[in-house]
Amino acid sequence: MFDFQKLDKIIHEKWRLAIMALLASRRIWSFQELKAELKMSDGNLITHMRTLHKQGLVSVTKEFRGRPQTTYALTAKGRSAFREHINALEEIVKQWKP
């Protein structure tokens, strides 16, 4: 039987899992890129990004490039946590028998 406690409660929420997957797919994403890819509202995306940042999983960089721009990236802790979460999901799938 699988120990479901291995699943990361912060990452497992569907929107945060989607955000983490995108951030794992390339080094840096801008707020606007994430918003467009996920089709999320500003407020919803900001709320999830704050949660991930507060947990130390995502870094936030604010710059001014003609206009304010915010970019996000996985931290080393975030990359490790995401990898562990995916490994836990894979273990669940391996144990499933139709």
Rounded to two decimals, what is the model's pTM? 0.90
For the cut 90, the answer to whether the pLDDT of residue 85 exceeds it is yes
Of 4-8, 60-64, 90-94, the range with the highest mean pLDDT is 60-64
Comparing 97 with 30, the larger pLDDT belongs to 30
Q: Return the higher-pLDDT residue of 7 and 23.
A: 23
pLDDT on residue 39: 97
Q: Give the domain range for residue 38.
A: 4-95
Strands (E), 1-98: 29-30, 58-64, 68-74
51: its two tokens: 């949660």
Domain count for the chain, please give it. Answer: 1
Number of H helices, E strands in the chain: 5, 3
CATH code of the domain in which 46 resides = 1.10.10.10
